[in-house]
Structure formats: C-alpha cells, structure tokens
Amino acid sequence: MNDTLAGWLQIIALLGVLALSYRPLGDYMARVLTSPRHLRVERVLYRLGGVDGDADQRWPVYLRSLLAFSLLSVLFLYGLQRLQNHLLLAIGMKAVSPGVAFNTAASFVTNTNWQSYSGESTMGHLVQMAGLAVQNFVSAAVGIAVVAALIRGFTRRHTDRVGNFWVDLTRIVLRVLLPIAFIFAIVLVAGGAVQNFHGVQSISTILGDHQSLTGGPVASQEAIKELGTNGGGFYNANSAHPFENPNAFTNFVEIYLLLVIAVSLPRTFGTMVGDRRQGYAIIAVMGLIWAASVAVITVNELHSVHSAAGHAAGGMLEGKEQRFGVWSSALFATSTTLTSTGAVNSFHDSFSPLGGGMTIFNMMLGEIAPGGTGSGLYGILILAVIAVFVAGLMVGRTPEYLGKKLGGREMKFASLYILTTPAVVLVGAGLAMALPGERAGMLNSGPHGFSEVLYAFTSAANNNGSAFAGLSVNTNWYNTALGLAMLIGRFLPMVFVLALAGSLARQQPVPATAGTLPTHRPQFVGLLTAVIVIVVGLTYFPALALGPLAEGLH
C-alpha cells in the first residue's frame, strides 16, 4: 500500500470512528450533565467535601469554586515537585527547581501541559501519577464544566444558577473520563505502550554505547493525556517516543482519543439546548476548519519532503518519525494544534515554513476545531455569539442566539473573551522579542527564530502545550512568562464565559420567528467559519507575515 492510499484510508477511518462516537458519547455526556441522580460514590465524595450536590450555584460562586480548586491544584502540584525527593517512588530524581515547578504546575492545571523539562530525567513516578496524571483528569473536567455552565445559560430562564461546579467536576471525572481512559489504557498496552514501575535501566546498544531507559506507568497516563487534550508526555519526546506511541495503530488510537470528546461535545450542546441541528452546525464549522488545516499541512509537508532539498537531504523526514511518515505526522500535528492537546508525534519546528505556520495559525484560531475538552466548544460558542451579533444586526433585529438576546452586557463578556488571548500572545511575544537576553534563546535566526518565539507564546496562551522546539525555554524568564501566559490564557476567558452564562441564564428567551436569524443552516456554518478565519487572521496577520510567511513565500 502506498503512502497516499494509506494516508487517505487513515483519515477516512478516523472520520468514521469519530462519526460513530458523536451521538452516543455526546448524548451520554448530556445525560451526565443534566441527570438529577447521584451515584453512591459521588454522594460519599460530596459528604466528605461538605458539598450539597443538589444545590446549584450562581455564576460567581461557580467561578470561585473553580478558581479555588485550581489554585489548590497549582499549590499541591508545586509542593509535590519541590518535595519529590523526600517522597515515595522518586526513582532517584532530585527536587524540581522553583522555576520549572511553577511552570509545570501552571501548565498541567491549565490543561496546557507545556513541558520545559524532560519527563524521564526530572519527574519521579509519584509526581507523574499523583500529580500530573491527576491534573490530566481534573483540568480536562474543569473545561467541560465551564462549557456545561455556558450551555445551561442558554437553556435556563429567569435564574441566576448555572449548575454546581463540584457536581460537574466529579461526574465528568468519574462517569466520563475515568472509564474511557481505563479502557484505552488497556488498548494502548495491548498496542505495545509501556506500563510498569521500573526505574532507570541502563542498556548497552549494539554499537556498544550505553543508553538509560526509564520505565513507568506510561500507557495509563497516555490515555488521559490524549483523551483530556492534555498532551504532557511521560517522556520528553512525547508521542514520538516508542514507549508512548509504539506504532501506527497506537498513533491512530491517540489521534482518535484527543479528538473524540471535543468532537462529541457539540452533540451534547445540541441535545441540551433541545435542538440537535445547532450541534450539527457547530461540528460542521469545526470539521471544515479541521479539514482545511489537514489539507494545508499535508500538502506542504509532502511538497517539502519530495522537493529537491528534501531529496538532497536523503529523502529524510527531519523531525518526523519513520514509523508514521508524512501523512500521520500531518494528521497528528493538525489535530493536536486544533485541540488544546499539544502532544506531538513529530517536531513542528522541522515542518515546512507554511506547514509549521499552519500549526501556529491553528492555535491562534483559539483551538476551536474541535478544540480542547470543553474549552473548544465554549471558544467556538463565543465566536458564534460575535458572528450572530453582526449577522443579527444585518437581519434587522436585536441579535439573539438560541433565543437569548445579545445586548451590551453579553457583548462585553464576549468581546473581552476574544481580546484576552491575542493580548497575551502578542504582548508576550513582543516582550520576548524586545528583550535581548530572551531573544538569544532562539535556535534559528531570521523569521524561523521569530516563529519559535511566536509559537511558544501562542501555545502557552491558548493552553496547547506543544512546542515548536528550538527555543530554549528552560530559563527563569520563559518559565515565569509562559507560566503566567498559561494561567491568564486559561482562567481569564473562563471568567468571561461564566459571566456570560450568568447573564444569559437570567433572560427570558425570545421565541423564534421567520425574522430570527437561523443558526443551524449551511448559511450560518459558512458565516461562522468566515468570521473565525477573518477575525483571527486580521489579528495575527502582521506577526504571521514576519514569521512563517516571510520564510515560506519565495
């Protein structure tokens, strides 16, 4: 089978399994988020935590619960890393330095999973399992909880309650993430991923060199790493590492896992708002953008591999694994940057300028196609609010989305949301480029070097976590600046989303008439796609022009 056929088959198979998952998983999550019944184990947990599982919260309370939980998580994770040498299963690792510990804590709590360290030489098994893996679950659940609150804003009326954060968090972890992650951890083990408690093992290679190999509970972490769109690898090489991602089969499973929740959430949305067509419209926009991105990256990578320069380099796939080839690498790269995963099975720094540029643009879109668990859906819903506002004016009515009017208050929160991430990216990258010391961290000169810096801040502020590589980010400045970018890029938008949810929930819905802008038709799908691409494109065009475009256009 040639590469092209295999590549196409892989894409078709992926779309097939995702389509099969859309309805059952989406509807299941809707049930989880709306059911009035608690499981026994949940009731025990609520009693332990002193939570009334039947009481809904107003949005500020929901937000406070979320922030308090996240702050505690950051502190716990920071402490765990700093003290790991005194604890169990350290497998000889030293205490993590303050800069890295802060950066890593911020990174895993924000679902970014940016790693300025090498997992196998920094983190012991306890930190990996009790710290990082736990955050892989709960940070993903936090994202879904926020979008659940937003959807309730659309469905509820005359109320100031948007749900109960603790209930949402517990249910998503226990009923959604744990079972799926458990099953797929076994699948990955079956596929050849490592799952043990070994320490560092020294091995002699055929050539007589010594190599240190670290074992560990890899497969179990790998499953939630992808499922929760986390992306923080057990090993530095992430999903390019054969212990994490041994072969084409596990590669396929990992791509499926990192997409499946975000792809199914529009169904959850459609089901919860009582109009499944709304969900289809959203998934259509996500699908269009995803498909276009896959096409751009695949074409560019194929072109560069088959170019004269590529052949001169011995037909080498620099930065790509021979196991996966161009097609799987491009598919993985698109999916990981369009979700907030950031796991990589190839190195984006070595992509062609335009292919690598596309991975940056994917993240700049706000990771909404399909996006991170929860964050992708609330991100695209906010953009839908903006699109509905402009389009709604054009049909001569006060704009309304799903029956809720978009007035000054709603537009304030939506505007602040779309303002936050670009501000963090541009200011962060601007500062890094203005400070001579930080600029020196670039591996390459010229536009490619700039792309490395731009990529880092785009990845951090959008909570992606993938790295272009090439940039030396393990400095105090980068650890701190990127850590802050992750925290601001994660929690400030959540504040605005929850505030919007509160403001929507209070409203009396307006009945739909022929004069109402329909938001389920192809017309709206096209409009929303155009709004997303144009608004994001306009924001970042100058920066992209000086990076990937300057490098890629000849």
Partner 1 sequence: MSSLTTLEPPLPQGEMPPQPERHRVAGGLLDPRQMLTSLPAAARKLDPRVMVRNPVMFVVEVGSVLTTLEAVRTPSVFAWVITAWLWLTVLFANLSEAVAEGRGKAQAETLRRTRTDTVARRLADWRPGAGDLREEEVPASGLRLGDHVVVQAGQIIPGDGDVVEGVASVDESAITGESAPVIRESGGDRSAVTGGTKVLSDRIVVRITSKPGETFIDRMIALVEGAARQRTPNEIALNILLASLTIVFLLAVVTLQPFAIYAGAEQSIVILVALVVALIPTTIGALLSAIGIAGMDRLVQRNVLAMSGRAVEAAGDVTTLLLDKTGTITLGNRQAAEFLPVEGVAVARLADAAQLSSLADETPEGRSIVVLAKERYGLRARAEGELGHAEFVPFTAQTRMSGVDLAEDGRHRLLRKGAATAVMQWIREHGGHPTAEVGPMVDAIASSGGTPLVVGEVVEGAAGGATASVLGVINLKDVVKAGMRERFDELRRMGIRTVMITGDNPMTAKAIADEAGVDDFLAEATPEDKMALIKKEQAGGKLVAMTGDGTNDAPALAQADVGVAMNTGTSAAKEAGNMVDLDSNPTKLIEIVEIGKQLLITRGALTTFSIANDVAKYFAIIPAMFAGVYPGLRHLNIMGLHSPTSAITSAIVFNALIIVALIPLALRGVRYKPSSAAKLLSRNIWVYGLGGLLLPFVGIKLIDLVVQFIPGLK
> Which parts of this chain interact with partner 1 (CB under 8 A)?
386, 389-398, 403, 406-408, 410-412, 414-416, 418-419, 422-423, 426-427, 429-431, 433-434, 439, 447, 450, 508-511, 513-518, 521, 523, 527, 530, 534-535, 537-543, 545-546, 549-554
Query: What is the nearest approach in angstroms of partner 1 to the Cβ of residue 399?
Result: 8
Which CB, 56 or 551, lies closer to partner 1? 551
Which CB, 308 or 434, lies closer to partner 1? 434
Cα(348)–Cα(466) distance, integer angstroms: 9
171: number of Cβ within 10 Å = 25
Which CB, 24 or 446, lies closer to partner 1? 446
Q: Which residue has the tokens 């997409």?
A: 259
Query: What is the nearest approach in angstroms of partner 1 to the Cβ of residue 420?
Result: 10
Q: Is the peptide bond before 422 cis (omega within 30 degrees of 0)?
A: no
Query: What is the nearest approach in angstroms of partner 1 to the Cβ of residue 149?
Result: 22
Query: What is the nearest approach in angstroms of partner 1 to the Cβ of residue 527?
Result: 7
Residues 6+ apart with CB under 8 A from 180: 223, 227, 260
Cα Dmax for the chain: 77
What tokens were used for 290? 């995803």
Which CB, 265 or 482, lies closer to partner 1? 482
What tokens were used for 505? 């929930």
Query: What is the nearest approach in angstroms of partner 1 to the Cβ of residue 390?
Result: 6
Q: For 250-266, b where at least 16 C-beta lie within 10 A, e where not — what string?
A: bbbbbbbbbbbbbbbbb
Which CB, 40 or 158, lies closer to partner 1? 158
550: number of Cβ within 10 Å = 16
How are beta strands 210-214 and 200-204 bridged, if at all? antiparallel
Which CB, 315 or 515, lies closer to partner 1? 515
Query: What is the nearest approach in angstroms of partner 1 to the Cβ of residue 159?
Result: 15
Which CB, 305 or 418, lies closer to partner 1? 418
Query: What is the nearest approach in angstroms of partner 1 to the Cβ of residue 530?
Result: 8
Which CB, 57 or 539, lies closer to partner 1? 539
What tokens were used for 508? 């009396």
Query: What is the nearest approach in angstroms of partner 1 to the Cβ of residue 123?
Result: 34
Cα-only R_g, the chain: 23
Which CB, 325 or 428, lies closer to partner 1? 428
Q: What is the rounded (10 degree) CA torsion for 302, 308, 313, 319?
A: -20
What tokens were used for 312? 């001169």
146: number of Cβ within 10 Å = 28
Report the candidate in 515, 513, 306 with the shortest Cα–Cα distance to residue 397.
Answer: 515
Cα(132)–Cα(94) distance, integer angstroms: 17
Query: What is the nearest approach in angstroms of partner 1 to the Cβ of residue 130?
Result: 40
Identify the sign of the CA torsion 403, 406, 412, 415. Answer: positive
